[in-house]
Structure 1
Amino acid sequence: MEDRALHRLVDECLAGSQESWNRIVDRYTPLIWAIARGHRLSEADCEDVCQTTWMRVIQHLGKLRDPGKLAAWISVSARRESLKHIQKSGRS
């Protein structure tokens, strides 16, 4: 996605646009799932990782300095949430 378009989407989300939020979710949910599945999590755990990652995005979207790095930020968040699930389950 072009940087300007992503910046606009993020700005619209922050202004309360549900349509813009849905577009971001549709675009990046497969990324979150791929990261969670890459950690060999169950489907239920992948769902938890996805939900928690989106919750973190909602909580911190306004603090994102460069919306062009949204994908990288989401990736890091999804990895951290995946690792938390692994730790909770006692897997190494």
Structure 2
Amino acid sequence: MNEQSDSQLIKAALKGSQESFRRIVLSYQQIVYAACYGITKNSTDAQDAAQETFIRFHKNMQQFDTSRPLKPWLLTIAMNCSRSLVKKALINNKLRESAELEEACAKEMPGKELSRQEKHQAIREMVTQLPDSLREICSLFYLAQCTCKEIAGILNTSENSVKVGLHRARKKLLENGIGQWRSV
């Protein structure tokens, strides 16, 4: 979506238009989910964090400055919801690993022909194994398709730090064998 139509939809949603709010959710649900997935490391928690993101967005929509782009604001909420969910799970000792992610990680790559979807799943698993700071940057850049400038704003850091983080993440991923799927 563009900033102008986002602004118009938010203004309509603030006046009670459920259809406008639904259109915002539909426009951003995939990138919000992708960002949440990169932090939570599994689809169930990512869905919960994404849902919480849109609940918080709805509750605080009136605080949004409609002259600014919506995507970074939503992704900031998504990152905070995801981090909160992970912290809560760690504190309660309920952090669980997704069985499908373990399977993707355990697959033998050489000599085995995998579908494009299986390759992407294995790559997403490798990203979830990165340290938190690099995983957040990769998730926002590759999964949520944010620019370095947007990521810097979301993570409250410099654009240069984001670029350095991306470089380090790519290096780490190559060390872990992601080079096998460069054509993905």
TM-score, length of structure 1 as denominator length: 0.87
> Which structure features the higher share of helix residues?
1
Aligned match of 1:56? 56
Aligned match of 1:46? 46
1:33 aligns with 2:33: yes
1:66 aligns with 2:62: no
Q: 1:2 to 1:36 in 2, by over 3 A?
A: closer
Moved more, 27-36 or 59-68: 59-68
Q: Distance in 1 between matches of 2:5 and 2:51?
A: 24
Aligned pairs for 1:72-87 (under 5 A) are 72-87=72-87
- Residue type matched to 1:84 in 2? S
- Residue type matched to 1:79 in 2? M
Q: Distance in 1 between matches of 2:45 and 2:67?
A: 27
RMSD: 1.7
Tell whether the 8 Å contact from 2:40 to 2:85 is kept in structure 1 after alignment: no
Q: CA deviation at 1:32?
A: 1.1
Structure number with greater Rg is 2
Structure 1: runs of 5 or more not aligned: none
- Percent identity among equivalent residues? 26
Q: Distance in 2 between matches of 1:78 and 1:67?
A: 20
Give 4+ residue runs of structure 1 displaced > 6 Å after superposition. Answer: none
Structure 2: runs of 5 or more not aligned: 96-131, 133-184
State the secondary structure of the residue aligned to 1:39.
helix
Tell whether the 8 Å contact from 1:6 to 1:68 is kept in structure 2 after alignment: no
TM-score, length of structure 2 as denominator length: 0.46
Higher relative contact order (CA 8 A, sep 6+): 1
1:16 aligns with 2:7: no
Tell whether the 8 Å contact from 2:36 to 2:79 is kept in structure 1 after alignment: yes
State the secondary structure of the residue aligned to 1:66.
coil
